[in-house]
């Protein structure tokens, strides 16, 4: 059910992300730039240009984590609205953690927006603990 993402998955993943940005607009309103950046990173991880993990449950869920060992940075776990609460997010993170450990990573660092209360609760339930505070200054 879970497998590495392939270039052929990019169109439905892009749609899943676009749906998510509609559901939860970003605090900075820079959805277009973020979409381009995520797309670029997804392709780079799939092709091996950038180290990381891109895993999917086809058409329903995607996980994108990237960076060289020892720290893997989470760029998101997204489950399609109609497929949530079926354990897919948990399944993806469990498989990603297993693969990451085997590849020499020692930790996963994620930085959800503070207003994404559900995601933070879900991550904490999955064993993530707060360690850093990210401060932002608008320019
Ligand atoms: C957060 C997200 C990835 C969770 O994925 P999921 O597949 O729906 O979650 P799971 O089925 O694995 O849920 C595991 C547990 O998390 C908790 N949880 C998940 N969604 C919840 C919700 N809407 N309300 C309350 N608890 C929730 C529950 O404890 C759940 O266990 P249970 O169903 O046995 O009660 C998914 O809701 C999602 O894609 N959200 C939008 C994108 C996002 O915020 N991504 C994360 C940050 S980048």
Closest ligand 1 atom to Cα of 116: 44
Residue 25 has pLDDT above 90, yes or no: no
Q: Whose CA is nearest to atom 24 of ligand 1?
A: 118
Q: Is the CB of 50 under 6 A from ligand 1?
A: no
Quote the pLDDT of residue 4. 98
- The band of 29, judged by pLDDT with boundaries at 50, 70 and 90, is confident
Q: What is the arrangement of strands in the sheet containing 107-110, beginning at the earlier edge strand?
A: 3-4, 52-57, 61-66, 71-79, 107-110
Tell which wins on pLDDT, 110 or 24: 110
Q: Is the CB of 125 under 6 A from ligand 1?
A: yes
Q: Is the CB of 90 under 6 A from ligand 1?
A: yes
Residue 120 has pLDDT above 90, yes or no: yes
How large is the average pLDDT for residues 71-100? 97
Q: Is the CB of 69 under 6 A from ligand 1?
A: no
Which stretches of 1-139 are DSSP H helices?
Answer: 10-23, 31-47, 88-102, 117-125
Q: Is the CB of 86 under 6 A from ligand 1?
A: yes
Please name the helix (run of DSSP H) or strand (run of DSSP E) that holds residue 82, with its range, or none.
Answer: none
- pLDDT, one tens digit per residue, over 50-76 is 999 999 999 999 999 999 999 999 999
Residue 18 has pLDDT above 90, yes or no: yes
Domains of the chain: 3-125 (3.40.630.30)
How large is the average pLDDT for residues 9-34? 91
Q: Whose CA is nearest to atom 10 of ligand 1?
A: 87
Q: Is the CB of 76 under 6 A from ligand 1?
A: yes
């Amino acid at each position: 059910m879970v497998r590495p993402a392939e270039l052929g998955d990019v169109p439905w993943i892009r749609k899943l992300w676009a749906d998510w940005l509609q559901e939860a607009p970003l605090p900075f309103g820079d959805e277009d730039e973020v979409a381009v950046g995520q797309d670029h990173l997804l392709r780079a991880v799939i092709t091996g240009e950038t180290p990381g993990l891109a895993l999917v449950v086809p058409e329903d869920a995607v996980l994108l984590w990237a960076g060289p060992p020892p720290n893997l940075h989470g760029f998101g776990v997204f489950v399609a609205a109609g497929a949530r609460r079926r354990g897919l997010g948990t399944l993806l993170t469990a498989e990603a953690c297993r693969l990451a450990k085997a590849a020499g990573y020692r930790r996963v660092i994620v930085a959800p927006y503070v207003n994404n209360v559900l995601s933070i609760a879900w991550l904490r339930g999955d064993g993530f603990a707060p360690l850093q505070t990210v401060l932002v200054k608008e320019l």
